[in-house]
Amino acid sequence: MSARPPDERPQPARPTPPLLFLFLDLPFGAAVGYAMIAMPYWLRAGGVSLAEVGAVSATAFAPHGLKLLWVPLLDLGQRRKVWYLAMATATAALLVLASLVPDPVQNLWLYGALVTAAQATATTGHAANNALMALTTRAEDKGKAAGFSMSSRKAGVRGG
């Protein structure tokens, strides 16, 4: 039995086509785009002060900095697909709920909480997607998969 060099990993049995990652990061891009573009626009249009918009935005984006506290838990098991699907579904549901809040200016705490929760689920799903990309993509396709993933994120942010 010959030993593999330590830096060579086995190829996945059923590799993921790199093109699939063009679509898998759309929930993350949509959530970030919503919080970065739509939310501040609607709040300012509703008469919310720039300071309050900044406070709501800072709170909404906090999960992106704090995710290092919970994202390592994704590596404890083999259920990254389940994590991804659950977080993508939760992100979509939270964005719909945030969009349905009647008069976000008058319900700022609820609106901000929903957008913040969407950022937490989006960033967790994004981490699960990155793990899936690393583990299920053939070595020679990793660059393509990363390029498709980046395109997906940018399309979501610009489309949000």
**17 pLDDT higher than 90:** no
Contact of 45 with 104, CB cutoff 8 Å: no
Encode burial over 127-142: b for 16+ CB neighbours within 10 A, e otherwise. Answer: bbbbbbbeebbeeebe
pLDDT band at 6 (very low <50, low <70, confident <90, very high): low
**143 pLDDT higher than 90:** no
What value does the mean pLDDT of the chain take?
A: 88
Contact of 147 with 21, CB cutoff 8 Å: no
Query: What pLDDT shows up at residue 44?
Result: 96
pTM, two decimal places = 0.84
Query: What pLDDT shows up at residue 108?
Result: 95
By C-alpha distance, which of 55, 31, 61, 29 is closest to 43? Answer: 55
Distance CA(89)–CA(12), nearest Å, equals: 26
**16 pLDDT higher than 80:** yes
Q: What is the mean pLDDT of residues 139-151?
A: 84
Which of 45-49, 71-75, 154-158 is modeled with the greatest confidence? 45-49
Task: Please name the residues in contact with 54: beta carbons below 8 A apart, sequence gap of 6 or more.
Answer: none
Query: What pLDDT shows up at residue 9?
Result: 66
Instruction: State pLDDT tens for residues 102-140.
Output: 999 999 999 999 999 999 999 999 999 988 888 888 888
